[in-house]
Amino acid sequence: MENFMRRALELATLGRGNVSPNPMVGCVIEHQGRIIGEGWHQRYGEAHAERNAIFSIQPQDEHLLPESTAYVTLEPCSHYGKQPPCANLLIEKGIKRVVCCNNDPNPLVAGQGFTTLRAAGIDVETGLLEDQGLQLNARFFTFIEQKRPYIILKWAETTNGFIGTENGQPVKISGDLSHRLVHRWRSEEDAIMVGTTTARNDNPRLNTRLWPGANPIRIVVDRNRSLPSDLHLFDCSQPTIVYHQSEQTHENQHNLTYVVAYSIPELLADLYARNVQSVLVEGGAALLRSFMEIGLWDEMRVFRSDTMLQAGVKAPTVQGELINREKVGDDELSVYKNSPHKE
């Protein structure tokens, strides 16, 4: 049974980067140990996993549905959104049993999917590989339950714990493979954020040119509106939001939006309202610390390289629970989770 759900979870991940703010969902239709249909939610606004799985079944197998089980990673929806309700489709097709990992916390569904299926006489079970499901859609669950984006803090530090030089001169700390991996991460999140100092010193483009994936929204915190307007960040090539606290008035341009926010929670509330489900915070040290100090973060991804700096800006001190450590080229990548939030 678990194997079918593992396969459904694997299918769900194929939607990564293309379905936000929807969850990634996978579905396997099984008949007496044989998979007769598979599907996943491929793109925001398009067909849900269950529909794709049902319509992947060969015509000669369709009569098997009344003796088949649908393994779906998330409670089938019961509402009319961009798509019709999956619960209704499963009922129409006469499926016998539905097994899920997680309940859908979306207030439009929230148990209604299961109620609808049970009312039609379908056997329903939930909680199979529950943790894997929660992990898969950590962004979706955090966004709905905590009304803020999922926050990933990322930085690279030298062996002796420096994140950059003292005079702000850009310096290469992590290697090429790590650099590429960061571009992949950018393509997986809705937005990337940097602080004033990083924007000024590094003049980053914050795009995904080293990875074939979508460009995220760029966010820069520029409290006093002191950043020069010729930075790459302000080139209007990607949607960009500037959070500031100045009284200065300015015209929003296409792809360039100015928003007043006086604190990180206020900024996060604005991102929530804009449906931004996840943010990769790429520094600098001050911005990273301001998230850590108020405990508003979900993951930390820290590269430690084998380079040394004689002096520099101290990297933040890691917090949370170490969940993974691996080599990326010559660098070591450590991932930490902010576990208290999850309990």
Q: Known catalytic residues?
A: 50
- Does 108 show up as a binding residue in the annotation? no
- Tokens 């890691």 belong to 318
- At 321 the three-state DSSP class reads strand
Residue nearest ligand AOF, Cβ-based: 81
- Does 89 show up as a binding residue in the annotation? no
Helices (H) and strands (E) in the chain, counts: 10, 16
Half-sphere exposure of 7 (CA within 13 A, CB side): 19
Which tokens is 278 given?
């996840």
What burial class does residue 239 get, using C-beta atoms within 10 Å of its C-beta: 0-12 exposed, 13-18 middle, 19+ buried?
middle
Residue 328, contacted partner among ligand AOF, Zn ion, none, CB below 5-8 A by kind = none
Q: Any contact of residue 48 with Zn ion (CB under 5 A)?
A: yes
Q: Which is nearer to Zn ion, 48 or 139 (CB)?
A: 48
Residue 106, contacted partner among ligand AOF, Zn ion, none, CB below 5-8 A by kind = ligand AOF
Per-position DSSP letters for 247-291, written without gaps between them: ------BTTEEEEE-SSHHHHHHHHHHTT--EEEE---HHHHHHH
Q: Which is nearer to ligand AOF, 51 or 301 (CB)?
A: 51
Structure letter (DSSP) for residue 211:
S
- Does 266 show up as a binding residue in the annotation? no
Work out the end-to-end distance of the chain between its first and last CA atoms, rounded to an integer number of angstroms: 27
Minimal distance in Å, beta carbon 83 to Zn ion?
6
Selected binder of ligand AOF within 17, 76, 149, 175 (CB under 6 A): 76
Minimal distance in Å, beta carbon 17 to ligand AOF?
14
Sheet holding 26-31, edge to edge: 34-40, 26-31, 69-74, 97-102, 123-126
Residue 81, contacted partner among Zn ion, ligand AOF, none, CB below 5-8 A by kind = ligand AOF
Q: Which stretch binds Zn ion (CB under 5 A): 3-11, 47-55, 58-66, 126-134?
A: 47-55
- The Cα–Cα gap between 306 and 21 comes to 38
Q: Which stretch binds Zn ion (CB under 5 A): 44-52, 97-105, 187-195, 309-317?
A: 44-52
- Does 129 show up as a binding residue in the annotation? no
Minimal distance in Å, beta carbon 186 to Zn ion?
28
Check: CB of residue 168 under 8 Å from CB of residue 316. Answer: no
- The Cα–Cα gap between 64 and 92 comes to 14
Q: Which is nearer to Zn ion, 77 or 300 (CB)?
A: 77
Check: CB of residue 321 under 8 Å from CB of residue 337. Answer: yes
Q: Tell how strand 217-221 and strand 191-194 pair up.
A: parallel
Selected binder of ligand AOF within 106, 137, 142, 305 (CB under 6 A): 106
Q: Of 72-111, which residues contact Zn ion (CB under 5 A)?
A: 77, 86
Selected binder of ligand AOF within 74, 173, 206, 287 (CB under 6 A): 74
Q: Any contact of residue 298 with ligand AOF (CB under 6 A)?
A: no
Per-position DSSP letters for 76-126, written without gaps between them: PP-S-SSS--HHHHHHHTT-SEEEEEE----TTTTTHHHHHHHHTT-EEEE
Residue 23, contacted partner among Zn ion, ligand AOF, none, CB below 5-8 A by kind = ligand AOF
Selected binder of ligand AOF within 82, 147, 172, 325 (CB under 6 A): 82
Q: Which stretch binds ligand AOF (CB under 6 A): 80-88, 118-126, 205-213, 215-223?
A: 80-88
Binding-site residue ranges for NADP(+): 156, 198, 202, 284-290
Contacts with ligand AOF by CB under 6 A lie at: 22-23, 25, 41, 48-50, 74, 76-77, 81-83, 86, 104, 106, 109
Binding-site residue ranges: 48, 77, 86, 156, 186, 198, 202, 206, 209, 282, 284-290
Binding-site residue ranges for substrate: 186, 206, 209, 282
